[in-house]
Amino acid sequence: MRLQTAAPAKINVCLYLGPTREDGRHELVSVMQSVSLADRLLLEEADGEVDVVECPGVEGDNLVSAAIAAFRARTGWDGPPVRIVIEKRIPVAAGMAGGSADAGAALRLLAQYSGLGDQEELLEIAAGLGADVPAQVRPGRVLATGAGERLRRVPGVPPYSVVVVPSDRGLSTAEVYAEADRLGLPRDAEGLREALEAVEAGLPDLPDELCVNELEPAALSLRPDLEATIGRLGADGADVAMVCGSGPTVIGLFRDDDAARECAAGLPQALIARPVGPHVGEVT
């Protein structure tokens, strides 16, 4: 049996940063939206005696191997070894949760393939893999709290185009969070509660003034060159322009599709994506 699914990238429509928890992760409030820029994963039985993950063009470990091991451990599944091949389209180390999207997609594939693992189990497995993974188990739009593991589905698909501008130089997520702490950016618990109340009142489609990334000053401190890209997107008509997650990708949200296309045409490496709903994560 061969199964496949898409693993859509996500953008943080907003990201409000709170205090550090005992486990070292920061509390946050974020609306995460899946977009049409997506990797594709194929699962089939492996030829050898161990699980195999292949991702042509990308070196090093990835979360999919960890997802397979965690799925087997949690569900007790002892089926034959599997081979998962990842076709990468999401820029690597871009702040768009590409690795987390792949891990979430792998969990969907494994659940379908094995017949084990309900949605609650998959979310618990995902939470052990990383803060961004639970939101990627089922694509779409979510309000994420905690460190990203507490999710509330937000209905509908917002009507804007997303211009995605990757960078050739990566940014370490850990370094960006450390810089945010050094700059004193995190809110206290009360401040984060106020941000949550404002975001809840603004859903399902947030007003522009709430589309804020509170990690952005830390990313710009480490990569000040990104500020020019943000300015260019704004000058080209973006309703919102900001660093995506921990960066270094910069995104522009455009309600005018023509303006988005014109902007992307004038920026090297720029891509256009659209918000997508849960259907893109179907396993076939």
Domain ranges of the chain: 3-156, 161-273
Q: In the annotation, is 256 catalytic?
A: no
The structure tokens listed for 94 are 């871009």
Mean pLDDT of 57-76: 88
| pLDDT tens digits, one per residue of 161-220 | 999 999 988 899 999 999 999 999 999 999 999 999 999 999 998 999 999 999 999 999
**CATH second-level architecture of 161-273?**
2-Layer Sandwich (3.30)
Q: Quickly state the pLDDT bin for 60 (edges 50, 70, 90).
A: low
Mean pLDDT of 256-281: 95
How high is the mean pLDDT of the chain? 94
Q: In the annotation, is 88 catalytic?
A: no
The structure tokens listed for 177 are 């969070």
Q: At residue 12, does pLDDT exceed 70?
A: yes
Omega within 30 of 0 (cis) for the link into 204: yes
Catalytic residue, chosen from 10, 51, 102, 236, is 10
Tell me, what's the pLDDT at 231? 98
CB distance 110 to 51 below 8 Å = no
Mean pLDDT of 85-93: 90
Distance between CA 187 and CA 28 in Å, rounded? Answer: 9
Tell me, what's the pLDDT at 59? 65
The structure tokens listed for 266 are 């004038």
- Angle at which helix 98-114 crosses helix 63-75, to 10 degrees, equals 40
Residue with tokens 């659209």: 274
Tell me, what's the pLDDT at 130? 87
CB distance 140 to 32 below 8 Å = no
Tell me, what's the pLDDT at 149? 87
Distance between CA 102 and CA 40 in Å, rounded? Answer: 8
Distance between CA 169 and CA 81 in Å, rounded? Answer: 36
Q: Dihedral of CA 197/199/205/206: which sign?
A: positive
Distance between CA 240 and CA 211 in Å, rounded? Answer: 7
Rounded percentage of the chain residues whose pLDDT exceeds 90? 87
Catalytic residue, chosen from 39, 102, 132, 236, is 132
Tell me, what's the pLDDT at 61? 60
Please indicate whether residue 62 or residue 273 has the higher confidence score (pLDDT): 273
CB distance 68 to 99 below 8 Å = no
Distance between CA 25 and CA 148 in Å, rounded? Answer: 9
Q: How many CA atoms lie within 13 A of 208 on its CB side?
A: 11
Please indicate whether residue 2 or residue 95 has the higher confidence score (pLDDT): 2
- Angle at which helix 98-114 crosses helix 119-129, to 10 degrees, equals 140
Residue with tokens 């943080």: 12
**For residue 5, which phi and psi values (nearest 5 degrees)?**
-160, 160
User: Which residues, 6+ apart, have CB-to-CB distance to 93 below 8 Å?
Assistant: 170, 171
Class of domain 3-156: alpha beta
DSSP-assigned letter for residue 163: E
Mean pLDDT of 94-119: 94
